[in-house]
Amino acid sequence: MKNFTSVHDIKNIKGILSKALAIKQDPFSNKSLGQNKTLGLVFLNPSLRTRLSSQQAGWNLGMHVQVLNAGQDAWTWEFSEGTVMDGSTTEHVKEAARVLSRYCDVIGIRAFPLLQDREEDYSEPVLSAFLKYATVPVVSLESATRHPLQSFADLITIEQTWKEARPPKVVLTWAPHTKALPHCVANSFSEWMIKADVDFSIANPIGYDLSPEFVQDTPVYHDQMEALKDADYVYVKNWSSFEQYGTMPPVEKDWMLGEDFLLKNPSARIMHCLPVRRNLELGDALLDSNNQLVYEQAANRTLAMQTVLSELLSPTL
Amino acid sequence: MKNFTSVHDIKNIKGILSKALAIKQDPFSNKSLGQNKTLGLVFLNPSLRTRLSSQQAGWNLGMHVQVLNAGQDAWTWEFSEGTVMDGSTTEHVKEAARVLSRYCDVIGIRAFPLLQDREEDYSEPVLSAFLKYATVPVVSLESATRHPLQSFADLITIEQTWKEARPPKVVLTWAPHTKALPHCVANSFSEWMIKADVDFSIANPIGYDLSPEFVQDTPVYHDQMEALKDADYVYVKNWSSFEQYGTMPPVEKDWMLGEDFLLKNPSARIMHCLPVRRNLELGDALLDSNNQLVYEQAANRTLAMQTVLSELLSPTL
Amino acid sequence: MKNFTSVHDIKNIKGILSKALAIKQDPFSNKSLGQNKTLGLVFLNPSLRTRLSSQQAGWNLGMHVQVLNAGQDAWTWEFSEGTVMDGSTTEHVKEAARVLSRYCDVIGIRAFPLLQDREEDYSEPVLSAFLKYATVPVVSLESATRHPLQSFADLITIEQTWKEARPPKVVLTWAPHTKALPHCVANSFSEWMIKADVDFSIANPIGYDLSPEFVQDTPVYHDQMEALKDADYVYVKNWSSFEQYGTMPPVEKDWMLGEDFLLKNPSARIMHCLPVRRNLELGDALLDSNNQLVYEQAANRTLAMQTVLSELLSPTL
């Protein structure tokens, strides 16, 4: 593995899952791996879980960790080629990526989409620039279209908790929100579930179908209750429209899962990547029940990053 | 000790003082205590001394330290229960505290009062939420009503410098300021002095009496010079009114201690928690004299935190 | 060496260069030097390279590193003596420097000039205050008039790459910019080159002569091409006027070096401290060529700081 920006960087998904579960047994056993090495974390957008879990993952491997909040701690970056930089940008991403590569052994980068121009966002301007110019491995800490560390943590969480022989039924369901949100978590989750040994489907209102590139031949339901029938894992997440890019077409029914759902589906496990807006995206009854896996998902973020870093520093798969 | 949020968490005040002074002799002797453990520091308000001293304390014990400036690095938190989160808050403190508990072994949290609603502030909304939802020990880095690490450092400073057999006379005196300030330092100092082996009294203008809960039967003087007579330690601090909550009732006399006071009381030791507004709260003559203990107080902040962390990680008292 | 704020703190420039090159061979060999010691980095202005390289340097020596963004993470400082602090400043630099000295074993500080009052800037108000009040060694991370760590890294870069017996011809040339920039990099580079074993000259437009204190008897050309003839190292940098302080007098010719220069001078090495505004200060052709040394300069920032810290912690020269 040279970089980690999507599930496609993983050659052996069962192998990396086994590696993660082995690290979970003994997270501090490989501190020599990262000795005298530095992980650089670059945030163009705010972060709680990703920042904490990535630092923790680096430390668990004996690395030093640099955190850089770009635009706040440092300069604003230019991304276009050949431009005369007489405007507001003060450093070209070429220099930023190349210089960071001299200070860090692995670079993690987070850059959200602007949700205004679909083609622009889906070309991954920031991540692509780092992949092009950095001379060390690059890890996506959530990009314009994907959040692979979240999905890897989600898959670990399912693997850990599923004890039956048959593949679990996993449903990704859209949920309401007041703000137009990116597709990253939903796109990535779909990509990972397609590759995993699960029975996967998606539920979302009309107008909210995700990009075909990420959904592929996954069944997509516009009737939430039909989709959720007998679901073992319910992954709740809001996203804005892909077709009418970045907008929020009106939704008639109430898509928020509450106590009713739990009463009818007492064994369904509830997942969410957090942060979650309580009683808007998901009811208190579910988040405060034993059915929720959200804190375990958050904890597994460290494990996902630590596994990825281990594999980048010393490939075994 | 399960948490550290006030002097009431300390069962044995002499014991913890001895522990602190022992650590001061050899601050780096117990680095295995915090190995593979993480201290998370959450600041809802700015900090210099608390941030530096807490990091230092964690490192001295071999811990990793995460610093999180909430609202700036991360999300804005919701504190009320059962609310539909369709407003400006993006994460509930339930999730924040529970997730932080998965990444950190001890959580330190700072949250100032708003000084608008006394009942609200004195209910300690932020600290209480963390005590309720965190699943690891919580340390107050200054809350709405108390600053216990400061007071512990202050007590260490007195203990270190007092060499006579009789208990020292310690006076907490109000000082002028241009801004309405919280009661935390004064409340805590009072609580700790009441429990310590000192002769304690308070001087403040009419209208500035502290909460009876914190003052108890401590003598309170409205004549500063009468109170300060023969004081061995003079603790200088501004605070706003508790009665007319958060206001600054007019004060006729000049309560700032300057060169005159030093000439008349050449052996009085001057304390202040810093930051101090020179020549408004306290004269240059005192701050630049050998009578001041303010830098020693600041240095002892590390020691206070290190002692608290040691006791939380491995209780000995 | 007690502090490091200019080339004048270096008694033996050949000795410190040798020391740097020895550290480069084995950067992790002296981790006991900084054990249980803390480097405090105080930034009154933003930083990317200086922050990352200084942290790295401290870690390479086994130090802990505190980063403090003053004014953002902490308080705003008062610098004038004897003032009644009833305005907007909340802590005097006396307290800040003395308190930091209790938490840190070495303090690094960055403070840019305001470019409004020459006398004020050239008196180095922030750095001087820290030198006066700190009780531990102070390292300039770029001050109002100098950037000595940059110049030291630049000299290392020249030393590393120059293989001929004769001294190299080194030319510092002014370049265009849209903003009025400080003189720090240019002043420092001049000071260091004067002390180094190189043939040094400066090229700048009329109206842009640097302070005579820093230039001394260095040849100054107002014709760029005349100055650059047969140059082995071309150091490109913008600065504002020293005479008409902080202004940008009009410049007739185009001073930006582009592809033409490279074609005529195929062996010239191109240096810049970064960040660089591409195609305004320096053409893509040069920055993307093998003639550039800019990433090596950036990498050598770590080495410069590590050498300075080593010398402060354990003087050998």
pLDDT digits (tens, 9 = 90+) for B261-294: 999 999 999 999 999 999 999 999 999 999 999 9
Structure confidence by residue, pLDDT tens digits, B31-84: 999 999 999 999 988 788 999 999 999 999 999 999 988 655 546 889 899 999
- How many other CB atoms are there within 10 angstroms of residue C251's CB atom? 14
Chains contacting A with at least 3 CB pairs below 8 Å?
B, C
Q: Is B52 on the interface with C (CB under 8 A)?
A: yes
Name which of C52, C56, C179, C256 to mutate to probe chain A: the one with the most chain A Cβ atoms within 10 A of its Cβ: C52
Chain B residues in contact with C80 (beta carbon < 8 A): none
**Among candidates B64, B75, B85 on the partner chain, residue whose Cβ is nearest the Cβ of A279:** B85
Q: What pLDDT is recorded for position B75?
A: 60
Q: What pLDDT is recorded for position B16?
A: 97
Cα(B189)–Cα(B155) distance, integer angstroms? 9
User: pLDDT of chain C along its 317 residues, tens only?
Assistant: 999 999 999 999 999 999 999 999 999 999 999 999 999 999 988 788 999 999 999 999 999 999 988 655 546 889 999 999 999 888 999 999 999 999 999 999 999 999 999 999 999 999 999 999 999 999 999 999 999 999 999 999 999 999 999 999 999 999 999 999 999 999 999 999 999 999 999 999 999 999 999 999 999 999 999 999 999 999 999 999 999 999 999 999 999 999 999 999 999 999 999 999 999 999 999 999 999 999 999 999 999 999 999 999 999 98
H-helix or E-strand spanning residue A23: helix A13-25
Q: Which of C44, C75, C67, C76 is nearest to B45 (CA)?
A: C75
Q: What pLDDT is recorded for position B71?
A: 53
Q: Is A29 on the interface with B (CB under 8 A)?
A: no
Q: Is C52 on the interface with A (CB under 8 A)?
A: yes
Cα(A178)–Cα(A181) distance, integer angstroms? 9
**Own/partner long-range contacts of A157-163 (Cβ < 8 Å, ≥24 apart):** A157/A271, A157/A293, A157/A296, A157/A297, A157/A300, A158/A196, A158/A198, A158/A233, A159/A17, A159/A21, A160/A21, A160/A296, A160/A300, A161/A269, A161/A293, A161/A296, A162/A232
- B127 annotated as belonging to a binding site for a ligand: no
Nearest CA in chain B to C76: B275
**Burial code of B279-300, b = ≥16 C-beta within 10 A, e = fewer?**
bbbbbbbbbeeebbbbbbbbbb
Q: Is C73 on the interface with A (CB under 8 A)?
A: no
Residue B204, min C-alpha distance to chain C (Å): 20
Structural domains of chain C sorted by starting position, each given as residue range(s) with its CATH number in brackets: 7-146+298-313 (3.40.50.1370), 150-295 (3.40.50.1370)
Residues C246, C248, C251: CA angle, nearest 5 degrees: 150
- C210 annotated as belonging to a binding site for a ligand: no
Q: What does R_g of chain A's alpha carbons equal in angstroms? A: 20
On whether the CB atoms of residues A170 and A149 are closer than 8 A, the answer is no
- B312 annotated as belonging to a binding site for a ligand: no
Cα(B303)–Cα(B60) distance, integer angstroms? 10
Chain A residues in contact with B95 (beta carbon < 8 A): 274-276, 287, 294-295
Residue B102, min C-alpha distance to chain A (Å): 6
Name which of B81, B83, B99 to mutate to probe chain A: the one with the most chain A Cβ atoms within 10 A of its Cβ: B99
Nearest CA in chain C to B43: C73
Residue B181, min C-alpha distance to chain C (Å): 13
Rounded to whole angstroms, the maximal C-alpha distance in chain B is: 62
On whether the CB atoms of residues A257 and A226 are closer than 8 A, the answer is no
Cα(C143)–Cα(C188) distance, integer angstroms? 10
User: pLDDT of chain A along its 317 residues, tens only?
Assistant: 999 999 999 999 999 999 999 999 999 999 999 999 999 999 988 788 999 999 999 999 999 999 988 655 546 889 999 999 999 888 999 999 999 999 999 999 999 999 999 999 999 999 999 999 999 999 999 999 999 999 999 999 999 999 999 999 999 999 999 999 999 999 999 999 999 999 999 999 999 999 999 999 999 999 999 999 999 999 999 999 999 999 999 999 999 999 999 999 999 999 999 999 999 999 999 999 999 999 999 999 999 999 999 999 999 98
Cα(C241)–Cα(A32) distance, integer angstroms? 52
**Among candidates B66, B84, B91 on the partner chain, residue whose Cβ is nearest the Cβ of A275:** B91
How many helices (DSSP H) and strands (DSSP E) are in chain A? 12, 11
Q: Which of C10, C37, C54 is nearest to C106 (CA)?
A: C37
Residues constituting chain A? 317
Window 175-204 of C, Cβ < 8 Å to A: 178
Task: Read off φ and ψ for residue C115, nearest 5 degrees.
Answer: 60, 25
Burial of A72 (0-12, 13-18, 19+ CB in 10 A): middle
Spacing of C-alpha A241 from chain mean position: 18
On whether the CB atoms of residues C192 and C242 are closer than 8 A, the answer is no
The 3-class secondary structure across A236-288, one letter per residue, is: EECCCCCCCCCCCCCCCCCCCECHHHHHHCCCCEEECCCCCCECCCECHHHHC
On whether the CB atoms of residues C109 and C126 are closer than 8 A, the answer is yes
3-state secondary structure of C259: helix
Determine whether the interchain pair C46/A73 forms a contact, defined as Cβ–Cβ distance below 8 Å: yes
Residue B154's pLDDT band, with cuts at 50, 70 and 90, is: very high
H-helix or E-strand spanning residue C234: strand C233-237
**Among candidates B92, B98, B104 on the partner chain, residue whose Cβ is nearest the Cβ of A295:** B98
H-helix or E-strand spanning residue A159: helix A148-161
Chain A residues in contact with C279 (beta carbon < 8 A): 82-85
Round the average pLDDT of chain B to a whole number and report it. 96
On whether the CB atoms of residues C188 and C7 are closer than 8 A, the answer is yes
**Among candidates A64, A84, A96 on the partner chain, residue whose Cβ is nearest the Cβ of C280:** A84
Residue B138, min C-alpha distance to chain A (Å): 17
Q: Is A302 on the interface with B (CB under 8 A)?
A: yes
Determine whether the interchain pair B75/A46 forms a contact, defined as Cβ–Cβ distance below 8 Å: yes
Determine whether the interchain pair C64/B52 forms a contact, defined as Cβ–Cβ distance below 8 Å: no
**Among candidates C74, C85, C96 on the partner chain, residue whose Cβ is nearest the Cβ of B46:** C74
Cα(B190)–Cα(B233) distance, integer angstroms? 13
Cα(A303)–Cα(A60) distance, integer angstroms? 10
Per DSSP, A171 falls in state: E
Cα(B243)–Cα(A305) distance, integer angstroms? 52
Chain A residues in contact with C298 (beta carbon < 8 A): 99, 102-103
Looking at this predicted complex, what is its ipTM? 0.94
Q: Is C132 on the interface with B (CB under 8 A)?
A: no
Name which of B38, B103, B105 to mutate to probe chain A: the one with the most chain A Cβ atoms within 10 A of its Cβ: B103
- C213 annotated as belonging to a binding site for a ligand: no
Residue A219, min C-alpha distance to chain B (Å): 31
Both tokens of residue B28? Answer: 């780096």
Chain C residues in contact with B49 (beta carbon < 8 A): 99
Q: Which of B199, B207, B263 is nearest to B227 (CA)?
A: B199
Both tokens of residue A118? Answer: 């679909």
- C125 annotated as belonging to a binding site for a ligand: no
User: Which residue has 């209102």 as its token pair?
Assistant: A205
Alpha carbon distances (Å) from A76 to A70, A250, B181, C167:
7, 36, 37, 39
H-helix or E-strand spanning residue C67: strand C64-69
Q: What pLDDT is recorded for position C45?
A: 83
Written as one letter, the residue type at A6 is S
Q: Which of C180, C104, C184 is nearest to C142 (CA)?
A: C184
- How many other CB atoms are there within 10 angstroms of residue C35's CB atom? 11
Residue A282, min C-alpha distance to chain C (Å): 35
Alpha carbon distances (Å) from C55 to A219, A280, C38, C209, C302:
50, 43, 11, 35, 8
Task: Read off φ and ψ for residue B201, nearest 5 degrees.
Answer: -145, 170
3-state secondary structure of C154: helix
- B237 annotated as belonging to a binding site for a ligand: yes
Cα(C254)–Cα(C268) distance, integer angstroms? 19
Nearest CA in chain B to C41: B52
The 3-class secondary structure across chain B, one letter per residue, is: CCCECCHHHCCCHHHHHHHHHHHHHCCCCCCCCCCCCEEEEEECCCCCHHHHHHHHHHHHCCCEEEEEECCCCCCCEECCCCCCCCCCCCEEHHHHHHHHHHHCCEEEEECCCCCCCHHHHHCCHHHHHHHHHCCCCEEECCCCCCCHHHHHHHHHHHHHHCCCCCCCEEEEEECCCCCCCCCHHHHHHHHHHHHCCCEEEEECCCCCCCCHHHHCCCCEECCHHHHHCCCCEEEEECCCCCCCCCCCCCCCCCCCECHHHHHHCCCCEEECCCCCCECCCECHHHHCCCCECHHHHHHHHHHHHHHHHHHHHCCCC
Q: Is A273 on the interface with B (CB under 8 A)?
A: no
Nearest CA in chain C to B301: C103
- As annotated, the binding site of A includes 47-50, 75, 110, 142, 147-150, 177, 237, 273-274, 277, 301
Q: What does R_g of chain C's alpha carbons equal in angstroms? A: 20
On whether the CB atoms of residues C205 and C176 are closer than 8 A, the answer is no
According to DSSP, the β-strands at B38-43 and B64-69 are parallel
Q: Is A36 on the interface with C (CB under 8 A)?
A: yes
Q: Is B80 on the interface with A (CB under 8 A)?
A: no
Nearest CA in chain A to C45: A73
Cα(A46)–Cα(A110) distance, integer angstroms? 9
Q: Is C294 on the interface with A (CB under 8 A)?
A: yes
Residue C107, min C-alpha distance to chain B (Å): 13
- B94 annotated as belonging to a binding site for a ligand: no
**Among candidates C74, C84, C102 on the partner chain, residue whose Cβ is nearest the Cβ of B279:** C84
Q: Is C84 on the interface with B (CB under 8 A)?
A: yes
On whether the CB atoms of residues C57 and B49 are closer than 8 A, the answer is no
- The phi-psi region of residue A44 (left if phi > 0; otherwise alpha if psi is between -120 and 50; otherwise beta) is alpha
